[in-house]
Amino acid sequence: MKLFGSVDRGAERPAPGSAIRLENPRANLTHTPWGSILVIFMRLLACLWICQGLAAWARVLLPDQTLFATLPGATSAAVIFFAIADLVAGVGLWLATPWGGALWLFAASSQIFVAIAIKNSISLVWIGLDVFLIAIYFFLTYKAGEVREP
């Protein structure tokens, strides 16, 4: 008879990509330490993106004048889009999930596209930072995916 909280020792282990793993994460020493660096990078990036999303919400909720009265339609739609996308991407990055990285790449690429499509909407310095951060993310993801020889 199985009681609450007891563990069935014959139960199947979760898949390697599942959200909850029962084994010790340090037990598999075939991965490089780049994975830890990637998680730290994603957490720092999450803080930046959450602050950016909150700043966009401040533009929507706390303006001196109505957002739609002061900005063109496309720019105000972009502000609302990034207010939502940046916060969701920030949460996904903080959790270090694959969907968080993918959503962040979509949000950062969208910022680059909006900066090109709508003049004077997003600073070119911020776009340069987006390109730099995307390059670092791809490099760290590549290095974290390498496996050491035992």
Q: What is the pLDDT of residues 86-95, one digit of tens each?
A: 999 999 999 9
pTM of the model: 0.71
Spatial CA neighbour of 92 closest among 109, 76, 106: 106
Q: Which domain holds residue 57?
A: 34-145
Residue 28 forms part of a structural domain: no
Residue 46: its pLDDT value, please? 96
**Residue 31 dihedral angles phi and psi, to the nearest 5°:** -90, 150
Supply the pLDDT for residue 139. 94
The pLDDT score that the predictor gives to residue 108 is 93
Q: What is the mean pLDDT of residues 15-44?
A: 70
pLDDT at 137: 95
Q: What is the spatial distance between Cα 32 and Cα 127, in angstroms, rounded to a whole number?
A: 31
Whether residue 70 is contained in a domain is answered as: yes
Q: Does 40 map to a domain?
A: yes
> Is 3 contained in some domain?
no
Number of domains in the chain: 1
**Cα torsion 64, 65, 71, 74: sign:** positive
29 pLDDT band, cuts 50/70/90, is: very low
In angstroms, rounded to a whole number, what is the distance separating the alpha carbons of residues 78 and 93? 21
More confident residue, 150 or 99: 99
Higher pLDDT, 106 or 5: 106
Chain Cα centroid distance, residue 7: 34
Residues 77, 117 contacting (CB under 8 angstroms): no
Proportion of the chain above pLDDT 70, given as a percent: 71
The DSSP symbol for 96 reads T
